[in-house]
């Protein structure tokens, strides 16, 4: 695949900023526009930029955990936050607030809703990683890559080629072709 | 009682978890559960039975005090798990746990050379015992139903435990299909009865019997359940098929306990509802047919186990005739018969198991009498069969005498005389097949051309025969001294019907009509046994025209195949594999069902432009949407769609919802990337292969969808205008900071007010993600996976 230098460099610069922005969305979400869902989506947008420039391996490298681990962790955190108050005798998803006065920063108010939001954030990221894992693996389509080496990533599939029986494409093909 | 059930479940689970490690000792572990239950039941005995002969001030008999335990289960449905242990439950518990204990000990001998997977039977049997105790202890109809279904499921697992034997699998399926179908009818019936009685508690129903139009239908449903479970005609075909299971299982489930569940339910309900609807007619007709047909078929069997199975069917019909009419005098004979039948049928089954195990056959043509050391087996076979035939002084005779006597004395309902004749004829048949059993065991039916194996067969070990001795001793002792069980049966009768006045059980009640009938039965039965060849010839000749009719087995198979065929045909029409048709149906339903009623609500149109900024944005949206529908290249269509999405985000921003705009923006970015990801698997251009006729249809559907969304949007915006209360969003905005501790209302709603919704949504996301990966990866499984490991194992076995 031909890589565009400008795109490459700008993504390298943008990617950390986008992740920081997504974390900002996540943490400020309770009082300003944002939240776990938006934060997760922003991070996912950053991840997909990374995918567009450097492929699925770069995406894999930037996360130490497997996508399904992230997904499960997120769900576990969210459900845990929901159930924890029940163990203490409260209602499901009852939230508590903790006011901290750390040095250097002003008063910081932490609600347990943040933990729930972190869970949502991780689930969204995990979902996107899973999709890249499912459909974004270029090595599965090496044939196409070799045949069309000069094509940019956005236009693979310029010409329609019948895919092998074991490719995921059969789920999208009309029935008579997929059934072969 | 809950503790006992829990102990059963724990022991069962422990045995299942250890697998084959314990071998046949698993049955010794399993014996613990019935042992504890028996101990507990013995401790409750005097309290539960009370003194049935003592009368209270008004001259009524006084029933013992039942033990009641209750655990709240689903409060909203008024559904409590109520267990009630009265004297009738005690009788059933004696059968379930007493025979269960003996069968467990017997199984240690039976499975002397245990095969892999057979120790699982011990665990499943313990589960079954828990379910069966649940049936006989439950006071709440729904709890009873659940236990009832659990017995069907454990019975299925026990019959089909030898999962490599296709006959075992087929028999297991047949059993669960028939009893499961009956179970569905039963649930329906129990709900109808419970609703019309105003209570689901059996013990309260006697004071507030169900009334109303639906009751008759409900009772038919309940009887369907009871008939399938107790193998009554025409649903009895599963019971002989189930004989493919190992003999301890057949002795336990399919003669002594599970098949009596239907009889038990009829016994409990008959005093309440016998006079209602078609109950009595149905029970009497079905019970009579079952008793006669079961007896006739038992007389023709050459496999001793099948002979006993048909005998069980016949006896179950007999019990229906005793409990069904709801006459307490007759029902008491039924209670005695329950005990007698449990004892002699388990005895005989276990004896057949001994013969099968030691000789390697149970076919009467291959048995030629036994050598030394087999005397106990022969004696017990005679005693058991004599009790089944109703010979004095055994318990079977006591039960049959009581049945005949009470039918003669108290059978004053319609059809009682015919039923009495049926009982006499059925008893003659019972005598005949009992004789056939004994002659078979003694080798009279042995054929000379069969290999003679039985004479040299080793005599069984004591642990193998011990449990049978216990049951035989009970049959004899309780027969000679019926006073031993008299109190128990009287108290059990009071438990079924508190308004009854039970009478003592006697061995000898004088030269009355019943005794004459008994003599008639024994006389004619002996004649049938002596001229057995001629009788068999007559039976063959008589059944010749019937051979044209399908047997119940064939009828069952035909029904299953018919259902299969219909299902296949329906699937071919409904799931024809065309994605456009699926989409058309889904979209059409989504449009027509909710929107058509909404059209009536469409009265006034809202103000379309609230803000000049909206005009250019909406123009972009409309333009891009049209473009997306018209372009030929997929990538262009996706770009157009994204333009629609981003313009929507702008619209939200213009309306003053930055949070929503942000979300929409992020989603749209991601959506575009994911679209492109999938796009490379598809042709660049849209290729339209559909015939020209389809085009206008698609156009129509698209227009309809657009119109429907438009109507929906307008109606839902106006929906709150005619409601007096404030919109809920006002309250949410107000409570956001004090209750949710956040200024961003949207987020507070997401994580707090509607947090459970969010939790559900992210769960859906997780499932969708896992599904996407599974779909994508499942289709590119490497080729070597195609030979399944199971096949490899099987080839290895055949080689070995």
Q: What is the DSSP string of B310-352?
A: HHHHHHHHHHHHHHTT--HHHHHHHHHHHHHHHHHHHHHHHHH
Given a cut of 90, whether residue B384 has pLDDT beyond it is yes
**Domain boundaries along the sequence of chain B:** 2-52+62-543, 611-687, 741-779
Instruction: Write down the pLDDT at residue B226.
Output: 95
Sign of CA dihedral A165, A168, A174, A175: positive
DSSP state of A1: -
Among B578, B684, B779, select the one facing A168 at the smallest CB separation: B779
Helices (H), B497-578: 513-530, 532-543, 552-574
Q: How far apart are CA B189 and CA B276, in angstroms?
A: 14
Cross-chain Cβ contact B742/A31 below 8 Å: yes
Cross-chain Cβ contact B770/A169 below 8 Å: no
Instruction: Write down the pLDDT at residue B163.
Output: 86
Among B663, B667, B684, select the one facing A159 at the smallest CB separation: B684
B642-693: per-residue pLDDT in tens? 999 999 999 998 888 888 888 888 888 888 888 887 787 788 887 777 777 8
Mean pLDDT calculated for residue range B134-144: 93
Given a cut of 80, whether residue B87 has pLDDT beyond it is yes
Instruction: Write down the pLDDT at residue A152.
Output: 44
Q: How far apart are CA B723 and CA B734, in angstroms?
A: 20
Residues 118-147 of A with CB under 8 A from B: 119-120, 123-124, 126-128, 130-136, 140-141, 144
Tokens of B276: 């209602």
Backbone angles phi, psi at B302, to 5 degrees: -105, -20
Share of chain B above pLDDT 70, in %: 95
Residues 207-236 of B with CB under 8 A from A: none
Quickly state the pLDDT bin for B511 (edges 50, 70, 90). confident
Q: Does B777 touch chain A (CB under 8 A)?
A: yes
Pairing of strands A108-111, B79-85: unpaired
Q: Is B394 helix (H, G, I), strand (E, B) or coil?
A: coil
Instruction: Write down the pLDDT at residue B705.
Output: 87
Given a cut of 50, whether residue B447 has pLDDT beyond it is yes
DSSP string, B257-297: STTHHHHHHHHHHHHHHTTSTTHHHHHHHHHHHHHHHHHHH
Helix axes B260-273 and B483-496, enclosed angle (nearest 10): 60
Among B261, B339, B348, which residue's Cα sits nearest to residue B94?
Answer: B339
Tokens of B75: 């409060």
Cross-chain Cβ contact A41/B666 below 8 Å: yes
Length of chain B: 800
Q: Does A109 touch chain B (CB under 8 A)?
A: yes
Contacts of A72 in chain B (CB under 8 A): 766
Share of chain A above pLDDT 90, in %: 17
Quickly state the pLDDT bin for A35 (edges 50, 70, 90). confident
Quickly state the pLDDT bin for B229 (edges 50, 70, 90). very high
CB B178 within 8 A of CB B556: yes
DSSP state of B633: B
Among B663, B684, B766, select the one facing A41 at the smallest CB separation: B663
ipTM of the predicted structure?
0.72
Among A120, A157, A175, select the one facing B681 at the smallest CB separation: A157
Q: Does B674 touch chain A (CB under 8 A)?
A: yes
Lowest-confidence pick of B60-64, B120-124, B225-229, B282-286: B60-64
Q: How far apart are CA B53 and CA B62, in angstroms?
A: 8
More confident call, A78 vs A154: A78
Cross-chain Cβ contact B682/A169 below 8 Å: yes
Q: Does B586 touch chain A (CB under 8 A)?
A: no
Contacts of B671 in chain A (CB under 8 A): none
Instruction: Write down the pLDDT at residue B312.
Output: 95
A169 to chain B, closest Cα gap in Å = 6
Instruction: Write down the pLDDT at residue A165.
Output: 37
Instruction: Write down the pLDDT at residue B132.
Output: 96
Distance of CA B513 to CAs A99, B318, B323, B398, B407, Å?
93, 19, 21, 15, 10
Mean pLDDT calculated for residue range B620-630: 91
> For chain A, what is the mean pLDDT?
73
Spell out a b/e string for B519-537, using b for 16 or more CB atoms within 10 Å of the CB, else e: eebbebbeebbeebeebee
Contacts of B739 in chain A (CB under 8 A): none
Tokens of B479: 């027969």
Helix H, strand E, coil C: the string for B472-506 is HHHHHHHHHCCHHHHHHHHHHHHHHCCCCCCCCCC
CB B606 within 8 A of CB B714: yes
Q: Is B464 helix (H, G, I), strand (E, B) or coil?
A: helix
Instruction: Write down the pLDDT at residue A100.
Output: 66
Q: Is B598 helix (H, G, I), strand (E, B) or coil?
A: helix
Among B578, B687, B743, select the one facing A175 at the smallest CB separation: B578
Among B380, B401, B405, which residue's Cα sits nearest to residue B390?
Answer: B401
Among B364, B500, B337, B331, which residue's Cα sits nearest to residue B433?
Answer: B364
Contacts of B667 in chain A (CB under 8 A): 41
Instruction: Write down the pLDDT at residue B292.
Output: 94
Q: Which helix (H) or strand (E) holds B29?
A: helix B25-30
**Contact partners, residue A116, CB within 8 Å, separation at least 6:** A36, A77, A78, A81, A82, A93, A95, B751, B755, B758
- Its pTM stands at 0.72
Mean pLDDT calculated for residue range B729-737: 77
Instruction: Write down the pLDDT at residue B563.
Output: 92
Q: Which helix (H) or strand (E) holds B67?
A: strand B67-74
More confident call, B169 vs B584: B169
Lowest-confidence pick of A84-98, B94-108, B389-403: A84-98
**Domain boundaries along the sequence of chain A:** 5-136
Q: Does A37 touch chain B (CB under 8 A)?
A: yes
Quickly state the pLDDT bin for A164 (edges 50, 70, 90). very low
Instruction: Write down the pLDDT at residue B57.
Output: 64
Instruction: Write down the pLDDT at residue B6.
Output: 94
Spell out a b/e string for B415-447, using b for 16 or more CB atoms within 10 Å of the CB, else e: ebeebbebbbbbbbbbbbbbbbbbbbbbbebbe
CA B716 to chain CA centroid, nearest Å: 47
Where is mean pLDDT largest: B298-302, B448-452, B674-678, B700-704? Answer: B298-302
Among A38, A154, A169, select the one facing B662 at the smallest CB separation: A38
More confident call, B785 vs B40: B40
Spell out a b/e string for B770-796, using b for 16 or more CB atoms within 10 Å of the CB, else e: bebbeebeebeeeeeeeeeeeeeeeee
> For chain B, what is the mean pLDDT?
87
Q: How far apart are CA B2 and CA B155, in angstroms?
A: 22
Q: How far apart are CA B27 and CA B32, in angstroms?
A: 9
Mean pLDDT calculated for residue range A91-102: 69
CB B763 within 8 A of CB A75: yes
Among B353, B317, B310, B351, which residue's Cα sits nearest to residue B337?
Answer: B317
Instruction: Write down the pLDDT at residue B59.
Output: 64
Q: Which of A14, A21, A30 to mutate to test the interface with B (most CBs of B within 10 A)?
A: A30
Given a cut of 80, whether residue B790 has pLDDT beyond it is no
Instruction: Write down the pLDDT at residue B758.
Output: 87
Quickly state the pLDDT bin for B96 (edges 50, 70, 90). very high
Quickly state the pLDDT bin for B99 (edges 50, 70, 90). very high
Give B590's Cβ-side CA count (13 Å radius): 12
Cross-chain Cβ contact B769/A131 below 8 Å: yes
Mean pLDDT calculated for residue range B163-168: 90
Instruction: Write down the pLDDT at residue A172.
Output: 37
Q: How far apart are CA B690 and CA A25, in angstroms?
A: 47
């Amino acid at each position: 695949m031909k890589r565009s230098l400008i795109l490459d460099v700008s993504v390298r610069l943008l990617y950390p900023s986008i992740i920081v922005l997504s974390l900002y969305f996540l943490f400020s979400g309770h009082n300003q526009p944002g939240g776990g869902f938006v934060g997760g989506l922003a991070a996912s947008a950053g991840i997909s930029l990374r995918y567009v420039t450097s492929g699925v391996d770069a995406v894999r490298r930037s996360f130490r955990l497997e996508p399904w681990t992230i997904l499960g962790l997120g769900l576990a955190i969210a459900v845990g936050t929901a159930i924890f108050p029940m163990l203490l005798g409260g209602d499901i998803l009852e939230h508590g607030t903790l006011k901290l006065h750390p040095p250097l920063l002003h008063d910081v108010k932490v609600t347990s809703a943040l933990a729930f939001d972190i869970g949502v954030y991780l689930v969204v990221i995990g979902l996107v990683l899973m999709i890249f894992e499912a459909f974004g693996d270029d090595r599965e389509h090496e044939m196409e890559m070799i045949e069309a080496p000069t094509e940019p990533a956005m236009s693979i599939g310029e010409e329609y080629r019948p895919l092998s029986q074991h490719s995921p494409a059969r789920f999208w093909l009309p029935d008579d072709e997929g059934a072969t | 009682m809950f503790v006992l059930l829990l102990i059963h479940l724990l022991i069962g689970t422990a045995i299942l978890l250890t697998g084959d490690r314990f071998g046949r000792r698993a049955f010794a572990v399993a014996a613990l559960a019935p042992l504890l239950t028996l101990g507990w039941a013995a401790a409750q005995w005097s309290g539960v039975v009370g003194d049935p002969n003592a009368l209270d001030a008004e001259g009524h008999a006084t029933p013992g005090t039942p033990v009641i335990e209750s655990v709240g289960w689903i409060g909203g449905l008024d559904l409590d798990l109520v267990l009630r242990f009265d004297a009738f439950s005690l009788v059933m518990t004696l059968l379930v746990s007493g025979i269960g204990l003996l069968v467990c000990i017997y199984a240690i001998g039976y499975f002397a050379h245990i095969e892999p997977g057979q120790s699982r039977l011990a665990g499943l049997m313990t589960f079954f015992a828990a379910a069966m105790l649940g049936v006989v202890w439950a006071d709440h109809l729904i709890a009873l139903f659940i236990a009832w279904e659990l017995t069907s499921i454990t019975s299925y697992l026990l019959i089909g435990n030898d999962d490599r034997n296709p006959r075992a699998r087929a028999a297991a399926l047949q059993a669960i299909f028939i009893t499961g179908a009956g179970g569905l009818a039963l649930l329906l019936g129990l709900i109808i009865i419970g609703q019309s009685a105003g209570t689901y508690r059996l013990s309260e129903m006697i004071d507030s019997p169900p009334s109303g139009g639906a009751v008759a239908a409900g009772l038919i449903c309940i009887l369907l359940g009871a008939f399938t479970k107790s193998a009554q005609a025409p649903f009895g075909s599963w019971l002989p098929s189930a004989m493919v299971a190992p003999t301890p299982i057949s002795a336990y489930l399919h003669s002594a306990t599970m098949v009596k569940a239907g009889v038990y339910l009829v016994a409990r309900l008959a005093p309440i509802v016998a006079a209602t609807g078609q109950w009595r007619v149905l029970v009497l007709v079905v019970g009579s047919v079952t008793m006669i047909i079961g007896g006739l078929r038992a007389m023709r069997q050459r496999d001793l186990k099948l002979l006993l199975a048909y005998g069980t069917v016949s006896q179950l019909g007999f019990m229906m005739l005793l409990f069904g009419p709801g006459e307490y005098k007759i029902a008491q004979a039924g209670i005695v018969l329950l005990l007698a039948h449990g004892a002699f049928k388990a005895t005989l089954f276990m004896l057949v198991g001994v013969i099968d195990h030691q000789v390697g056959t149970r076919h009467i043509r291959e048995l030629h009498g036994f050598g030394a050391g087999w005397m106990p087996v022969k004696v017990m076979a005679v005693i058991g069969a004599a009790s089944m035939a109703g010979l004095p002084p055994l318990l079977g005779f006591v039960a049959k005498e009581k049945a005949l006597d009470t039918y003669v004395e108290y059978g004053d309902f319609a059809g009682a005389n015919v039923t009495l004749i049926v009982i006499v004829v059925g008893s003659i048949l019972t005598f005949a097949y009992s004789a056939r059993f004994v002659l078979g065991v003694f080798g009279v039916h042995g054929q000379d051309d069969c290999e003679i194996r039985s004479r040299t067969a080793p005599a069984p070990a004591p642990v193998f025969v011990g449990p049978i001795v216990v049951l035989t001793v009970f049959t004899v002792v309780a027969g000679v001294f019926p006073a031993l069980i008299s109190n128990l049966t009287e108290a059990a009768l009071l438990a079924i019907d508190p308004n009854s006045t039970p009478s003592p059980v006697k061995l000898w009640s004088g030269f009355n009509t019943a005794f004459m009938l008994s003599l008639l039965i024994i006389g004619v039965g002996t004649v049938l046994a002596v001229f057995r060849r001629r009788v068999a010839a007559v039976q063959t000749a008589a059944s010749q025209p019937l051979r044209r009719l399908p047997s119940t087995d064939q009828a069952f198979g035909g029904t299953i195949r018919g259902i299969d065929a219909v299902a296949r045909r329906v699937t071919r029409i409904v799931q024809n594999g065309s994605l456009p048709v699926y989409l058309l149906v889904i979209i059409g339903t989504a449009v027509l069902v909710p929107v058509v009623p909404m059209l009536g609500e469409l009265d006034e149109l809202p103000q379309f432009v609230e803000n000049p900024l909206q005009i250019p944005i909406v123009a972009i949206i409309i333009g891009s949407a049209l473009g997306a529908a018209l372009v030929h290249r997929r990538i262009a269509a996706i770009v157009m769609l994204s333009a629609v999405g981003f313009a929507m985000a702008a619209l939200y921003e213009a309306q003053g919802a930055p949070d929503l705009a942000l979300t929409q923006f992020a989603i749209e970015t991601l959506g575009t990337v994911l679209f492109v990801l999938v796009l490379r698997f598809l042709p660049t251009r849209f290729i339209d292969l559909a015939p020209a006729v389809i085009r206008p249809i698609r156009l129509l559907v698209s227009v309809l969808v657009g119109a429907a969304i438009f109507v929906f949007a307008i109606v839902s915006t106006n929906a709150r205008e005619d409601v007096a209360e404030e919109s809920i969003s006002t309250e949410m905005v107000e409570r956001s900071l004090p209750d949710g501790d956040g200024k961003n209302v949207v987020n507070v709603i997401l994580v707090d007010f509607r947090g459970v919704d969010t939790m559900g949504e992210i769960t859906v996301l997780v499932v969708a993600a896992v599904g996407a990966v599974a779909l994508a990866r499942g289709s590119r499984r490497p080729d070597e996976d195609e030979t399944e490991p199971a096949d490899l194992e099987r080839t290895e076995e055949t080689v070995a």
